[in-house]
Amino acid sequence: MSLLRIEALFAGYGASTVLHGADLTIEAGESVAVVGRNGAGKSTLLLSLFRETNVTGGAIWVGDTRIERMPGYTAAKLGISIAPQGRRLLPNLTVRENLLLGKATGRAGPWDLRSIFKLFPVLEERAGQMGTMLSGGQQQMLAIGRALMANPNLLLLDEPSEGLSPVLVDGLVDTLIDIRKAGTGVLVVEQHLSLVKRAAERFVILSKGEVVGAGPIELIGAAENQALMAL
């Protein structure tokens, strides 16, 4: 059974529809990149899993549970967590408190404060500081760490390289590889093709709310150009 299956999804905000029949299936332990132009609906696709959009058609399955009409926390309970675009750290909480929030799902697994601090030692050094006082790269680590604390089967990352220097992007790639080695699947929305090429094994292209191309990661540059030029 697939970890995540999104079928012919229509979703948007209020009366406006952004996704027009989007399909996506992820198998256990896979690492998949979603690419596409600004406004294509990539974030909307991820947020639809948590009931943050208005879903008007189609289905979202996590394992054998259909969730698109269930409360927003259902996906997290079933093992899907997100490091969202803009990171959404809580301003009045320390680094440690932000991380502990991720445990709310009560799921058991390899990720706890100790393993997160091993992955990101700087978070241990800054554990008592407010999360929003960290640098951009450290805030990104905190957002990823918080999502991992939920012990997901699938980690969603929305533009994780946003605001990071090239050196930090290299570190992020290594982190994503380590996360996969720990058995956690990764779905990354990302414009930074060099990151995607190193951290994902296949890609899908989203355009105007639909999946218009897909393939093994080696083919991403040419495939993306071709699919977008054909529109």
What residue ranges bind ligand ATP (CB under 6 A)?
Answer: 13, 18, 36, 38-44
CB of 116 to ligand ATP, least distance (A): 26
CB of 44 to ligand ATP, least distance (A): 3
Rounded to the nearest 5°, which phi and psi values hold at 211? -80, 120
- Cβ proximity to ligand ATP: between 41 and 160 the closer is 41
CA 4 to chain centre: 13
- Cβ proximity to ligand ATP: between 43 and 151 the closer is 43
CB of 20 to ligand ATP, least distance (A): 11
CB of 14 to ligand ATP, least distance (A): 7
Cβ neighbors of 43 (< 8 A, separation 6 or more) are 84, 85, 158, 189
Cβ neighbors of 135 (< 8 A, separation 6 or more) are none
- Cβ proximity to ligand ATP: between 40 and 204 the closer is 40
Q: How many CB atoms lie within 10 A of CB 195?
A: 21
- Cβ proximity to ligand ATP: between 81 and 161 the closer is 161
Which 3 state secondary structure label does DSSP give 178? helix
